[in-house]
Amino acid sequence: MRYVVDLGERPSAAIAGTEARFPVRRIFCVARNYAEHAREMGYDPDREPPFFFTKPADALVEDGCDVPYPPRTQNLHHEVELVVAIGKGGRDIPVAGAEGHIYGYAVGNDLTRRDLQHLAKKDGRPWDTAKGFDFSAPMGPIHRVDEVGHPRAGRIWLTVNGETRQDGDLAAMIWSVPEVIAELSTLYELKAGDLIFTGTPAGVGTVTPGGEIVCGIDGLGTLTNRIA
């Protein structure tokens, strides 16, 4: 097939231990999936159905790469998250079978223009400009399920210039990974190549140019990026 413009290479993610790449189709994100983070954002953490937003696939940033400070914000926030890589798609996936659709897991950082998000919430507008901007989805290498299993508990943390900002446990998720996949698959037909950022623990905060952000999850290594 011949296209009239060059779209460049398809976005992809590194896979730990191999030079092969994971082609990325879509990026879904879960909002307010840790109770303490919901509280710090001013919400009641009752177990209501999860809701989702998206980021463009080309917003991915690899481990070790600089992240340009985005325009039109004075309040850029970090949010460390467990990322799920979908290896087998489906619609209306049952919770009991959801883990069978997972290729692997990675450490991610849902960067957010918080001031734009607050304005969007105030005016009842979509979050796209707050969440889906260029370079807004740093993510480390994907670790395959056959190597790391399914992390249901374990430390998830983030530091900025060596200072611990976020320090939680995956077990504190309001909605588990299988429940998130099952719910999301009622809204979209999931397909291989989709990524799901599964929410962040409490402690989100501002980062400024020159700040080095290190994110980590037990068993999945670390993700390091500098705000340029």
Extents of the domains making up the chain: 12-227
Q: What is the predicted pLDDT for the residue at 38? A: 67
| Superfamily (CATH H level) for 12-227 | Fumarylacetoacetase-like, C-terminal domain (3.90.850.10)
Q: What is the predicted pLDDT for the residue at 183? A: 97
Say if residues 195 and 136 touch (Cβ distance below 8 Å). no
DSSP of 25-67: --EEEESS-BHHHHHHTT-----PPP-EEEE-GGGEEETT-EE
Q: What is the predicted pLDDT for the residue at 7? A: 86
Q: What is the predicted pLDDT for the residue at 32? A: 87
SS3 122: helix
- Given a cut of 70, the residues of the chain with pLDDT beneath it are 37-38, 41-47
Q: What is the predicted pLDDT for the residue at 42? A: 65
Q: Which tokens belong to 158?
A: 């983030």
In angstroms, the CA 132 to CA 115 distance is 14
Q: What is the predicted pLDDT for the residue at 43? A: 65
Tokens 């508990």 belong to 153
